[in-house]
A and B are shown apart, each in its own frame.
Chain A
Amino acid sequence: MAISTLKPVTSRPAPVPAKVGEVVPLPKRKDETPMRSLLAKRVVARLRAVAVTVIPPLLVVAVIMLVWQIAFGRPGSSLPAPTTIWQEAKDLILEPFFVAGPQDIGLGWRVLTSLQRVMIGFGLAAVVGVMLGALVGQSVWAMRGLDPIFQVLRTVPPLAWLPISLAAFRDANPSAIFVIFITAIWPVIINTAVGIRNIPQDYRNVARVLQLNTVEFFFKIMVPSAAPYIFTGLRIGIGLSWLAIVAAEMLTGGVGIGFFIWDAWNSSKLSDIIVALAYIGLVGFALDRLVAMLGAFVTRGTSAQ
């Protein structure tokens, strides 16, 4: 019985066209490319990748410039056209670091002065923010006590702090720095706290078995584990700082990109203002990328579990 049922299977012809044991050679590759053309190919590929990211924004900028030129190119229009800006503010665009007098300096210097304030204020905010965030994230009672206060204070606009800090510090520079600090600290605190709360219980257990003390736990488990969250907070914070410094400097005066805009407005130099806006935008973009890159470098390996 068994043999008869097996029979049709064995009698079926094998669907193999080639002879048994024959080696079928793979078709030869036609283009055995030499080394040099391979390198050239790679360079072309890299150039193409760069072009794909660079050309579209350049095209859009060109279109905007053209529309702008057409819209404001007539004599007597309310805003300067790109060609007018080039004529009036050529020195500001081409020479960021000239010094021609105490108040007549290149925009590069002004940006650096503003950046210095931002760095101090933001640096303080980062350190204090991470520590407060760790406290709020770690302790239920600290969260209950502090979180509502943070939620209220963080909605206060940066400039609303300025009069009170001017009264407290009696000087423009520390007041501006304080405004940066108070603007940047909230996202750092809140994101750090979320990051600390999201530390997996497993890591906490490891720390407990090893009997890590508070300081060791902070540096070896908390900060690295919450690093992606902390850097999100820092990134938001530096963006807000840069937003706030311009506004603060407009009011406090002195050297700085914000005051430059106010000064230019008072002397009706609209072209200078537009150049300054471009500077602020580019520097803000650079700051954001810088923190993002730093974050990507520091948290490499952490995000991928």
Chain B
Amino acid sequence: MTDYLKLDHLDKTFQRGGQVTEVLKDINLVIDCHEFVSIIGHSGCGKSTLLNLIAGLTQVTMGAVLLENREVNAPGPERAVVFQNHSLLPWLTVYENVKLAVDKVFSGRKSKAERHDWIMQNLDLVQMGHAKDKRPNEISGGMKQRVGIARALAMEPKILLLDEPFGALDALTRAHLQDSVMDIHARLKNTMIMITHDVDEAVLLSDRIVMMTNGPAATIGEVLTVPLARPRHRLELVSDPRYVGAREAVLRFLYERHRFVEAA
């Protein structure tokens, strides 16, 4: 079996002036098709950098990112990103924001009517069809993030990259959106990689949780397979011993073995 996405001995160093900072060191990971993988770690451990490497927004220093055995080193719509702060263009309406992506990715492949249907289909998927003519500053934070997800999904990506997608949202909205993402993953079977610092979120959504050690020169500390069947329901899981066990394992990793050391 071929590997779908392979991170092969990734190193990333940043150079500023004469100073070289080693951010990521020797990252090795294989992600299967349709898999949902979370990357969790303390802030500053380089997890967002890792996502940017996969997205191609940042160049790897050493090693390679292989998607279906082909190296990727530039950004592209087959690795769509849901950005942390939604990154919708404020001068475009919700519909136009998705349209920008759809027109670019499907120009020549879909007719105008087909593209319109596809935009609406994706907005309806995140329940934002009703607000298609609103501008981003007229809708709530949760709604913006929904549109961000719709825009990414509309690119029909091979891999959906989510960079702390719910970090800026309140707890209730976040839970609601997590359910939406689970639902979308169940329906479309996308391969998804999500950066998070929320243990519950990681356990609830993921097939596997990748735990990062602290930087500098952070690497993958452990990979935990979440032994929970899908579909998962948040309320039923609260008392599920496997859920509690997985949660405990992640917490132990983060707070016992790789406790965040404040820079003195």
Among A203, A212, A299, the residue within 8 A (CB) of B104 is A212
B29 close to chain A: CB less than 8 A: no
Question: Do A211 and B75 touch (CB < 8 A)?
Answer: yes
Question: Do B104 and A211 touch (CB < 8 A)?
Answer: yes
Among A209, A211, A220, A302, the residue within 8 A (CB) of B90 is A302
Question: Do A224 and B76 touch (CB < 8 A)?
Answer: no
Q: Is the interface of A mostly helix, strand, loop or mixed?
A: helix
Question: Do A210 and B57 touch (CB < 8 A)?
Answer: no
Kindly supply a per-residue 1/0 record for chain A positions 34-78, scoring 1 wherever the CB is within 8 Å of any chain B CB and 0 otherwise. 000000000000000000000000000000000000000000000
Question: Do A208 and B87 touch (CB < 8 A)?
Answer: no
A227 close to chain B: CB less than 8 A: yes
B255 close to chain A: CB less than 8 A: no
Most buried by A among B80, B91, B100, B136: B91
A102 close to chain B: CB less than 8 A: no
The complex places the Cα of A299 from the Cα of B105 at a distance, in Å, of 27
Q: How large is the interface on B (under 10, 10 to 19, 20 to 34, 35 or more residues)?
A: 20 to 34
A305 close to chain B: CB less than 8 A: yes
Question: Do B137 and A301 touch (CB < 8 A)?
Answer: yes
Question: Do A210 and B90 touch (CB < 8 A)?
Answer: no
Interface size for A (C-beta < 8 A) is 21
Question: Do B76 and A209 touch (CB < 8 A)?
Answer: yes
Question: Do A209 and B100 touch (CB < 8 A)?
Answer: no
Question: Do A210 and B91 touch (CB < 8 A)?
Answer: no
Residue of B nearest to A211 (CB): B76
Among A202, A208, A224, A301, the residue within 8 A (CB) of B85 is A202
The complex places the Cα of A240 from the Cα of B80 at a distance, in Å, of 46
Within A173-215, the residues touching B (CB, 8 Å) are: 200, 202-203, 205-206, 208-212
Please name all residues of chain B whose beta carbon is closer than 8 Å to the beta carbon of A200 when the two chains form the complex. 87
Please name all residues of chain B whose beta carbon is closer than 8 Å to the beta carbon of A302 when the two chains form the complex. 90-91
Among B83, B105, B135, the residue within 8 A (CB) of A206 is B83
B223 close to chain A: CB less than 8 A: no
B77 close to chain A: CB less than 8 A: yes
Question: Do B75 and A304 touch (CB < 8 A)?
Answer: no
Most buried by A among B80, B85, B89, B101: B89
The complex places the Cα of A216 from the Cα of B100 at a distance, in Å, of 10
A85 close to chain B: CB less than 8 A: no
B194 close to chain A: CB less than 8 A: no
Please name all residues of chain A whose beta carbon is closer than 8 Å to the beta carbon of B87 when the two chains form the complex. 200, 202-203, 205-206
Most buried by B among A200, A202, A216, A225: A202
The minimal Cβ–Cβ distance linking A207 to chain B, given in whole angstroms, is: 9
The minimal Cβ–Cβ distance linking B29 to chain A, given in whole angstroms, is: 21
The complex places the Cα of A220 from the Cα of B92 at a distance, in Å, of 10
A221 close to chain B: CB less than 8 A: yes
B126 close to chain A: CB less than 8 A: no
The minimal Cβ–Cβ distance linking B167 to chain A, given in whole angstroms, is: 14
The complex places the Cα of A216 from the Cα of B101 at a distance, in Å, of 12
Kindly supply a per-residue 1/0 record for chain B positions 92-128, scoring 1 wherever the CB is within 8 Å of any chain A CB and 0 otherwise. 1000000011001100000000000000000000000
The minimal Cβ–Cβ distance linking A47 to chain B, given in whole angstroms, is: 32
Most buried by B among A210, A211, A221, A225: A210
B7 close to chain A: CB less than 8 A: no
Assuming the contacts A301-B135, A304-B137, A305-B137, asked whether A210 and B89 have C-beta atoms less than 8 A apart, the reply is no
The minimal Cβ–Cβ distance linking B144 to chain A, given in whole angstroms, is: 11
The minimal Cβ–Cβ distance linking A196 to chain B, given in whole angstroms, is: 15
The complex places the Cα of A225 from the Cα of B90 at a distance, in Å, of 9
Within A4-56, the residues touching B (CB, 8 Å) are: none
Please name all residues of chain A whose beta carbon is closer than 8 Å to the beta carbon of B136 when the two chains form the complex. 301
The complex places the Cα of A209 from the Cα of B56 at a distance, in Å, of 8
Kindly supply a per-residue 1/0 record for chain A positions 292-305, scoring 1 wherever the CB is within 8 Å of any chain B CB and 0 otherwise. 00000001011011
The minimal Cβ–Cβ distance linking B89 to chain A, given in whole angstroms, is: 6
The complex places the Cα of A211 from the Cα of B100 at a distance, in Å, of 11
Most buried by A among B74, B75, B79: B75
The minimal Cβ–Cβ distance linking A227 to chain B, given in whole angstroms, is: 7
Given contact pairs A220-B100, A227-B91, A302-B90, a sample of 11 additional A-B residue pairs in the complex whose CB atoms are under 8 Å apart: A205-B57, A208-B56, A208-B57, A209-B57, A209-B77, A210-B100, A210-B104, A216-B104, A299-B91, A301-B136, A304-B137
12 interchain pairs (CB within 8 A)?
A205-B75, A208-B56, A209-B77, A209-B81, A210-B101, A210-B155, A211-B104, A220-B89, A224-B91, A225-B91, A301-B91, A305-B137
6 shortest interchain CB distances as A-B pairs = A202-B87, A208-B75, A224-B91, A304-B137, A302-B91, A301-B135
